[in-house]
């Protein structure tokens, strides 16, 4: 089993390295602090600052950064997951892949591991680029405590977002391509914001990451244990159903 998994992981990593999609998702994440920097430039105009609702300092920049990352994180991770699982259908490689002696469970596990690893590495670009952009803009109000708080928020956001990609893998598998997964990502983003706005975010898995990070206010961090349990069950259900689908994919 170990040998089969190693072979599956090597194959997935090779396909991953040869594609441009991972770099597109990394660029999407890196673009988040750049766009935040443009907002900071706009916020230097007093009238524009009131319209945007942000202040031209590190606190305002980091606040805007976490808000934008909540959306771009979902989008980047969702696109990546949809591509990893959907490319086998788009490239018409599914039949050849299923004909291999490698267990389906090893293939699916390798795909998820590649997704998680790249997502974690690409996420590191966000604070790195943010520090470079903020420094170039000469933003006032710097503090180490503010940086550590923001890093904590980004870590919670990204960590929870990453485990919630499993339903996107299922959508790509059932839909036999990456477009169904991307469509589901867009719907989920809209629903997550709507549920949080009406006060039901604690009971919608994809709203929990932003609330848990505290980006919606200190009070939002006090989430019930059931919210985290819901996230875990959603991620687990997505993984199990995806695994189940792939085990009988040649019969579909």
CA gap 7, 67 in Å, rounded: 39
Give residue for tokens 């959907």. Answer: 86
Cβ count within 10 A of residue 188: 21
C-alpha of 43 from chain center? 28
Q: For residue 163, give the nearest of 202, 205, 222, 126 by alpha carbon.
A: 205
pTM for this model (two decimals): 0.87
Q: For residue 82, give the nearest of 52, 49, 115 by alpha carbon.
A: 115
- List of residues 6+ apart from 208 with CB closer than 8 A: 160, 201, 202, 223, 227, 228, 230, 231
pLDDT for res 219: 47
CB 161 within 8 A of CB 74: yes
| Positive or negative: CA dihedral 234, 23, 216, 157 | positive
Per-residue pLDDT of the chain (252 residues; tens, 9 = 90+): 567 788 888 888 888 888 888 899 999 999 999 999 998 988 887 777 677 677 889 998 998 898 888 888 889 999 999 999 988 887 777 666 666 677 888 889 999 999 999 999 999 999 999 999 999 999 999 999 999 999 998 999 999 999 999 999 999 999 988 899 999 999 999 999 899 889 898 999 999 998 888 765 554 557 888 999 999 999 999 999 999 998 876 665
CA gap 188, 144 in Å, rounded: 34
């Amino acid at each position: 089993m170990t040998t089969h998994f190693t072979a599956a992981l090597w194959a997935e990593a090779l396909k991953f390295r040869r594609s441009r999609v991972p770099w597109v998702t990394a660029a999407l994440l890196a673009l988040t602090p750049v766009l935040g920097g443009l907002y900071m430039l706009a916020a230097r105009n007093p009238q524009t600052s009131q319209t945007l609702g942000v202040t031209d300092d590190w606190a305002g920049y980091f606040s805007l950064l976490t808000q934008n990352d909540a959306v771009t994180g979902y989008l980047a991770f969702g696109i990546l997951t949809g591509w990893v699982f959907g490319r086998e259908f788009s490239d018409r490689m599914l039949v050849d892949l299923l004909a291999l002696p490698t267990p389906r469970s090893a293939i699916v596990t390798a795909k998820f591991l590649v997704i998680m690893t790249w997502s974690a590495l690409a996420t590191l670009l966000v604070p790195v680029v943010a520090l470079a952009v903020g420094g170039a803009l000469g933003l006032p109000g710097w503090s180490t405590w503010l940086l550590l708080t923001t890093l904590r928020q980004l870590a919670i956001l990204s960590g929870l977002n990453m485990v919630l990609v499993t339903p996107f893998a299922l959508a790509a598998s059932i839909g036999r391509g990456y477009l169904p997964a991307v469509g589901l990502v867009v719907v989920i983003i809209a629903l997550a914001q709507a549920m949080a706005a009406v006060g039901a975010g604690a009971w919608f898995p994809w709203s929990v990451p932003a609330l848990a990070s505290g980006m919606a206010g200190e009070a939002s961090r006090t989430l019930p244990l059931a919210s985290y349990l819901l996230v875990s069950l959603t991620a687990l259900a997505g993984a199990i159903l995806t695994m189940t689908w792939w085990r009988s994919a040649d019969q579909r």
